[in-house]
Amino acid sequence: MADPASYRPQTGEIPTTPGVYRFRDPHGRVIYVGKAKNLRSRLNSYFANPAGLLPKTYAMVHAASSVEWTVVGSELESLQLEYTWIKEFKPRFNVVFRDDKTYPYLAVSMGEKLPRVQVMRGERRKGTRYFGPYTAGAIRETMDTLLRVFPVRSCSAGVLKRAQASGRPCLLGYIDKCSAPCVGRVTPEEHRAIAEDFCSFMGGEAGKFIRRLEKDMAAAVAELDYERAARIRDDIAALRKVFERNAVVLSEDTDADIFALHDDDLEASVQVFHVRGGRVRGQRGWVVEKVEDATTPELIEHLLQQVYGEDSDNQGRIPREVLVPEIPSNHHELLEWLGGLRGAKVDIRVPQRGDKAALMSTVRENAEQALKLHKVRRAGDITVRSQALQELQEALELPVPLLRIECYDISHVQGTNVVASMVVVEDGLPKKADYRKFSITGAAATDDTAAMHDVLTRRFRHYLQDKSAQLPKSGEVPNAAELAPSEDVAGTGTKARFAYPPNLVVVDGGQPQVNAAARALAELGIDDVYVVGLAKRLEEVWLPDSDFPVILPRTSQGLYLLQRIRDEAHRFAITFHRQKRGKAMTVSALDGVPGLGEAKRKALVAHFGSLKKIKAATASELTAAKGIGPALAEAVVGHLAEASASEEAAPAVNMTTGEILEY
């Protein structure tokens, strides 16, 4: 751990203007980003008395080796720059509001020619309307009920293509839960109108559709068309069922997100109720570790910054009102920022009385219960992870704590399609953003040890290249180029392909694989990364140049951790190998033709029907296919002729014995 005094900037060097600052570790990685109205006052607070800091802040200033700052023109600019850097660098010591689980949304892909309704999680896509979040059971029931009234396409792209090719709709088309635009029952324009009605209903305009259906039902009764009236009656019942599923808690014109917070000295729990059209449409929750001695207004500022800034398409997601327990810091700048994202005015306020204050109390109770449940669940996890890392460090007699572990595995089938995987574990938890895949060719693909040597050499050569980049000096003010989102963690202006080095490298295998990995590190001059191997046969741990393995007890948490890392690396490698093998098995004889891309290749096959007919065609006949010109047709004919000549020159082999039969 570094001494904060070793990189503390001189007080007179630090400006007193607003700005954003970054702490970096010895590898150049940004580990904390913060902003301040007065940079000198804020930065001095980290160094004046480090012993008085919170535990995690104390760990941060001792893990860092440099600090730098950027002066900005206003507090709004500092708010925007801080958010940009937190999103770009993902500093490990920043307060990051992560969901305790992923919530499904009801999504309508209005950007497609034939919009599709589906349940989606994860990142938002451009051109797609989202409604929610919901619980998993409720959203499936809602979607199934609404499709009988608004029969929007819900099938995948593959099912749609098969239906269009065969001229027959899927099952949903036959049971009237899809308007079947794939076979022309409705035009694309009519189908889009249905999708627009679906979105309008989900957006809170349910009353309009129910009233319209009631008029249609009355007209059907007047015409004595009782069958149609009965169908409309059932549709009205279905819409009312969905509409009444959420209890009305506020007036129908209320669109608001209601946040509440409950915290202690170390962690904070946040809950939010999404109210749309006066009804609670969804709920989300976060639990975060507090880094600095952050006040509630500061936590709320970070919360709103991350919740509403995580996606670019915010116009339908940010409501008119944001209700919070306390007014956030930088209130006016935050209002201006959120208003710019939404494209309309946003009001942030604290409810004082009435129904909104009562609902805020309910949200606060949920936050309090969520923090209690989180502490009960996490207490066991943290204890077991800490025990596993400590046992492993002691068993291997390593002088450093195992903050980061990387595991490598090789996968192939009889030496073909050789690949490798790298998985990463930090603080005992997988860090999937740092996973890597390697394709191995040439001499390195001859055996597992050569492949392992090649992979470790490639991975740590990149690390050395990043390390050699010039780091900014302590307290140096970055230039304008450093403000670009693509800035490298080492300040080079390009994104790093690999993160900082691990404390321990684990390879899947025994002594040969371990020695190959250790030799690769030694050749690169890296002596501060330790290497072990976990052999599958007896689950023994091998060290470099050791005649005997380390045997961990079968009940050891350290052994369990190694096994989980090894199994994850194996899974990741197998997945990549299968993808590569699948692509190799579908190689076409037309793949090597210069200038013949996928679209033109498909056009050729669609026009002639088979590769055999393409081979039999002349160059002038090939030009009849869409996009195939005379020069490209000649190239196709020449390539296929060369391929046929190579096949004829190859010896015939008995596939059972391997004996060459003839040339």
Q: Are 127 and 111 in contact (CB under 8 A)?
A: yes
Residues 611, 564, single domain; the answer is no
Q: Which residue's entry shows tokens 């499709």?
A: 147
Q: Are 305 and 79 in contact (CB under 8 A)?
A: yes
Buried/exposed code over 600-615 (b: 16+ C-beta within 10 A; e: otherwise): bbebbbebbeeeeebe
Whether 492 shows a pLDDT value over 50: the answer reads no
CATH number, domain at 615? 1.10.150.20
Residue 646 one-letter amino acid: S
Question: Pick the residue with more confidence: 246 or 197?
Answer: 197
Domain end: 522, 556, 584, which one? Answer: 584
Residues 576, 603, single domain; the answer is no
Q: Provide the pLDDT confidence category of residue 656 given band limits of 50, 70 and 90.
A: very low
Is there a domain that residue 359 lies in?
Answer: yes
Mean pLDDT computed over 256-284: 80
Query: Picking from 31-45, 447-461, 640-654, which range would have the lowest pLDDT averaged per residue?
Result: 640-654
- Supply 336's token pair: 């201006």
- Supply 472's token pair: 């900014």
CA angle 333, 334, 337 (to 5 degrees): 85
Residues 19, 83, single domain; the answer is yes
Query: Picking from 332-346, 380-394, 555-569, which range would have the lowest pLDDT averaged per residue?
Result: 380-394
Q: What is the dihedral of CA 96, 99, 100, 101, to 10 degrees?
A: -150
Q: What is the DSSP letter of 116?
A: B
Whether 627 shows a pLDDT value over 70: the answer reads yes
- Supply 486's token pair: 């693509």
Cβ neighbors of 244 (< 8 A, separation 6 or more) are none
Mean pLDDT computed over 346-375: 84
Cβ neighbors of 352 (< 8 A, separation 6 or more) are none
- 3-state class (DSSP) for residue 506: strand
Residues 359, 461, single domain; the answer is no
Whether 115 shows a pLDDT value over 70: the answer reads yes
| Strand positions, DSSP E, 414-553 | 416-426, 429-430, 436-439, 504-508, 530-534, 541-542
Residues 613, 654, single domain; the answer is yes
Reading phi first (left if > 0) and then psi (alpha if -120 to 50, else beta), residue 277 is in left
Minimal CA–CA distance to 216: which of 232, 192, 238? 232
Is there a domain that residue 490 lies in?
Answer: no
CATH number, domain at 280? 3.30.420
Minimal CA–CA distance to 79: which of 318, 271, 293, 309? 309
CATH number, domain at 62? 3.40.1440.10
Question: Pick the residue with more confidence: 486 or 103?
Answer: 103
Q: What is the DSSP letter of 606?
A: H
> Would you state the pLDDT for residue 546?
77
Q: What is the DSSP letter of 48?
A: S
Residues 402, 432, single domain; the answer is yes
Indicate the pTM of the whole model.
0.47
Mean pLDDT computed over 44-67: 79
Q: What is the dihedral of CA 544, 549, 553, 556, to 10 degrees?
A: 10
Cβ neighbors of 294 (< 8 A, separation 6 or more) are 95, 302
- Cα gap 433→90, rounded to integer Å: 11
Query: Picking from 96-100, 195-199, 235-239, 560-564, which range would have the lowest pLDDT averaged per residue?
Result: 96-100
Q: Provide the pLDDT confidence category of residue 96 given band limits of 50, 70 and 90.
A: low
> Would you state the pLDDT for residue 487?
34
Whether 198 shows a pLDDT value over 80: the answer reads yes
Residues 570, 440, single domain; the answer is yes
Query: Picking from 4-18, 26-40, 202-216, 480-494, which range would have the lowest pLDDT averaged per residue?
Result: 480-494
CATH number, domain at 557? 3.30.420.340
Minimal CA–CA distance to 467: which of 30, 28, 90, 64? 28
Domain end: 584, 606, 636, which one? Answer: 584
- Supply 223's token pair: 């015409």
| Strand positions, DSSP E, 109-232 | 117-120, 129-131
Cβ neighbors of 142 (< 8 A, separation 6 or more) are 106, 134, 242, 245
Residues 536, 653, single domain; the answer is no
Is there a domain that residue 491 lies in?
Answer: no
> Would you state the pLDDT for residue 292?
56
Q: What is the pLDDT of residues 118-129, one digit of tens each?
A: 887 766 677 888
How many structural domains comprise the chain?
4
| Structural domain range at position 11 | 4-89
Mean pLDDT computed over 67-96: 78
Q: Provide the pLDDT confidence category of residue 369 given band limits of 50, 70 and 90.
A: confident
H or E segment at 466? helix 448-467
Segments in 262-354 forming alpha helices (H): 296-309, 331-342
Mean pLDDT computed over 519-548: 83
Residues 575, 609, single domain; the answer is no
Q: Cα 242 to chain center, whole Å?
A: 31
Q: Provide the pLDDT confidence category of residue 278 given band limits of 50, 70 and 90.
A: confident
Is there a domain that residue 459 lies in?
Answer: yes
Is there a domain that residue 559 lies in?
Answer: yes
Mean pLDDT score across all residues of the chain: 77
Q: What is the pLDDT of residues 555-599, one digit of tens each?
A: 778 888 888 888 888 888 888 888 877 666 545 667 667 777 778
- Supply 325's token pair: 């327990």
Is there a domain that residue 392 lies in?
Answer: no
Residues 266, 335, single domain; the answer is yes
Q: Provide the pLDDT confidence category of residue 407 given band limits of 50, 70 and 90.
A: very high
Whether 140 shows a pLDDT value over 60: the answer reads yes
Is there a domain that residue 200 lies in?
Answer: no
Question: Pick the residue with more confidence: 23 or 50?
Answer: 23
Query: Picking from 228-232, 455-459, 494-498, which range would have the lowest pLDDT averaged per residue?
Result: 494-498
487-491 long-range contacts (CB < 8 A, ≥24 apart) are 487/88, 489/24, 489/27, 489/28, 489/29, 489/30, 489/89, 490/27, 490/28, 490/466, 491/28
Is there a domain that residue 20 lies in?
Answer: yes
- Cα gap 171→174, rounded to integer Å: 5
Residues 536, 609, single domain; the answer is no
Domain end: 68, 89, 110, which one? Answer: 89
Whether 476 shows a pLDDT value over 60: the answer reads no
Mean pLDDT computed over 428-446: 81
Residues 353, 420, single domain; the answer is no
- Cα gap 538→511, rounded to integer Å: 13
Q: Cα 426 to chain center, whole Å?
A: 17
Question: Pick the residue with more confidence: 482 or 635?
Answer: 635
